[in-house]
Structure 1
Amino acid sequence: MSNHEHQETAHRPVKRNGMSRRQFLSYTLGGAGAFMGAGMILPMVRFAVDPILQKKETGTFVKVVEASKITNEPQEFKFKIHQVDGWYISDPELTAWISKDSQGKMFALSPVCKHLGCTIGWNTEKNNQYVCPCHGAHYTQEGKNLVVAPKPLDEYELKVENEWIYLGPVMPNTRFK
């Protein structure tokens, strides 16, 4: 090795295989910052996602009226349901029109018009039909759409137990397809 080559290698910095002090501090501070950031963000994510992860209750039935009070003429009955929507808990009051069909089978219709969501009334025009006061939709006693509305009225799931009528969730009308 010549003198000149020796001088060049003497002035070159020594290459180390390890980590520099700057890299060590960078990694340490970056890791600590990420750990603290995750500690702050994880509770927020959990708060937002937790209601989605909770098990949904199956359709619960609500006791509404004694079965002996139901006639062939539709009657309006109000009832409350217990509702949990995320962290919001409420007990809204719902309405159902309950009657018997020509075979004596009981059914309950939702009062929500299928045209634009107004509340229908029974026999308001003395024509033995459900009528929407807002836009003039008409339905038969069993909920079949006659004028304006595109679909029949929805119905509640209904069961009779111990001479009481219980109503469940709303479903599309099963009488008309």
Structure 2
Amino acid sequence: MSEHNSHDAQHQGERPVKRREMSRRQFLSYTLGGASAFMGAGMIVPMLRFAIDPVLQPKSQADWVKVVEEAKIENEPKSFKFQVHQVDGWYESDVELEAWISKDQQGNIFALNPTCKHLGCTVNWNANPEYKDQYFCPCHGAHYTVDGKNLAVAPAPLDQYDLKVENGFVYLGQLGPNKRVK
């Protein structure tokens, strides 16, 4: 008898297992919700791809742009303006850029970007009498050597264009870090 009482005591503490079944209303709600989400995603994904696709395209190297005749380049830096065809997403434009081009002591031609590395103002050659034979930024007083090395204020040297000389003309390419100074 004691076994029977202990057996009943065990069953009294347990609850019967309740099964939850899905009602028709829940089934229809889940089915319609899933179908609506699928159709909504079908409309949103092409719109997102349209917006993001230009960002995902691989960057191409800049084309070489004819800037000036080689004979016009001297040891003293001169400013030359040139146009580049630019594509931003679906917007195409022709942008005018500037480069300071000169020869070094060995006669090698190089081109520097005139954008100051401090806050993006435009530097000029020999623009300030205090800094003779230097690039000077009028915004905050940054100045650079003829090779583009930063001397004060700016955290980095002026950027340099890739350059090639062909058939008596100077061509500029991709803009990158200055390779002339360490």
The TM-score with structure 1 as length reference comes to 0.79
Aligned to 2:156: 151
Secondary structure in 2 matching 1:34: helix
Structure 1 residues 79 and 29, CA gap change in structure 2 (3 angstroms): same
Identity, in percent, stands at 70
Match of 1:55 in 2: 58
For structure 2, list consecutive stretches of 5 or more residues without a partner in the other structure. 1-21
Q: Do residues 97 (structure 1) and 100 (structure 2) align? A: yes
Deviation at 1:35, TM superposition (A): 3.3
Once the two structures are superposed, the pairs formed by residues 1-177 of structure 1 within 5 Å of their partners are 22=25, 25-26=28-29, 28-126=31-129, 127-177=132-182
Cα distance in 2 for partners of 1:150, 1:57 equals 28
Deviation at 1:70, TM superposition (A): 0.7
Q: Secondary structure at the match of 1:95?
A: strand
2:32 and 2:153 map into 1 onto residues whose CA distance is 68
Can you give the 5+ residue segments of structure 1 that lack an aligned partner in the other structure? 1-18
Give the residue type in structure 2 aligned to 1:154. D
Contact 2:150 2:158 in 1 (8 A): yes
Which letter does structure 2 place at the counterpart of 1:172?
P
CA distances 1:28-58 after superposition (whole Å, capped 9, x unpaired): 5334323321222122221122112323212
* Structure 1 partner of 2:19: none
Residues 113-142 of structure 1: CA deviation (Å, up to 9, x unaligned): 122221111112352211111222222212
Work out the CA distance in 1 between the residues paired with 2:37 and 2:135.
63
1:52-104 residue CA offsets vs partner (Å, 9 max, x unmatched):
23232123221111111111111100111111122222222111000000000
Counterpart code for 1:54: Q
Which amino acid letter does the alignment assign opposite residue 162 of structure 2?
E
Letter in 2 for 1:118: C
Distance in 1 between residues matched to 2:138 and 2:29, nearest whole Å = 71
CA shift, 1:22, in A, is 4.7
Amino acid aligned to 2:175: V
Q: 1:156: Cα distance to partner?
A: 0.8
